[in-house]
Amino acid sequence: MSRPLQMRSSWVNRVVTGFDAQGNPVIIARGEPPTVIHAGRYTTTELWVSGRGPITPGTADTSTQEWALEPPDGGACFRIVQIAAGTGGGDVEDAGHAEFQGAHATETLVYVTVLRGDVTLVIGGTEIVLHPGDSVVQQPGVPHDWQNRAAEDAVMVGVLLSAR
């Protein structure tokens, strides 16, 4: 029997490694991620954001900066996205995040894996139903839409790499 998935702060335990002031390897953060965005049909948990390289370990939690759909220029973000059940084709209104509630294109290379539920990926006139374990490489500038037409919420994990 599978447990029902609910995106609540206790569902995700994020662990971030780094170095202390003496240069010793340590856990610099663990527990609930501090940034969870509710945007229409999507609930996004920001796990980490990095800027342009070279990337060096630090103690600042970069996931707490102002949230944006795309990572900083030359940077990346790592996130979990829950898509509400029965939400296909932009049918959940959210004026504050309208730019990505339907088909949209970003200046990112995105690696996505479905963790739970079924997600319909819409690319032009093609629709593909993705199941847990299915992965997508979403190339920059390609209009796409992530939909959940099922009766249960779906969850994906993704890494977004800036193409700028």
81 in any annotated domain: yes
Q: How many CB atoms lie within 10 A of CB 154?
A: 26
Q: Which domain holds residue 94?
A: 34-162
Look up residue 56 and give its amino acid. Answer: T
Cβ(81)–Cβ(42) under 8 Å?
A: yes
Query: pLDDT value at position 8?
Result: 45
Look up residue 3 and give its amino acid. Answer: R
90 in any annotated domain: yes
Q: Which tokens hold the place of 140?
A: 């920059």
Query: pLDDT value at position 11?
Result: 77
The single residue listed with the structure tokens 């630090």 is 58
116 in any annotated domain: yes
How many whole angstroms separate alpha carbon 88 and alpha carbon 74? 31
Tens place of pLDDT per residue across the chain (164 aa): 333 444 444 579 999 999 998 999 999 999 999 999 998 889 999 999 999 999 999 888 888 989 999 999 999 999 999 999 997 654 444 445 445 456 889 999 999 999 999 999 999 999 999 999 999 999 999 999 999 999 999 999 999 999 99
141 in any annotated domain: yes
CATH number of the domain that residue 80 is part of: 2.60.120.10
15 in any annotated domain: no
22 in any annotated domain: no
Query: pLDDT value at position 110?
Result: 97
56 in any annotated domain: yes
What does pTM read for this prediction?
Answer: 0.83
Query: pLDDT value at position 143?
Result: 95
41 in any annotated domain: yes
Domain count, the chain: 1
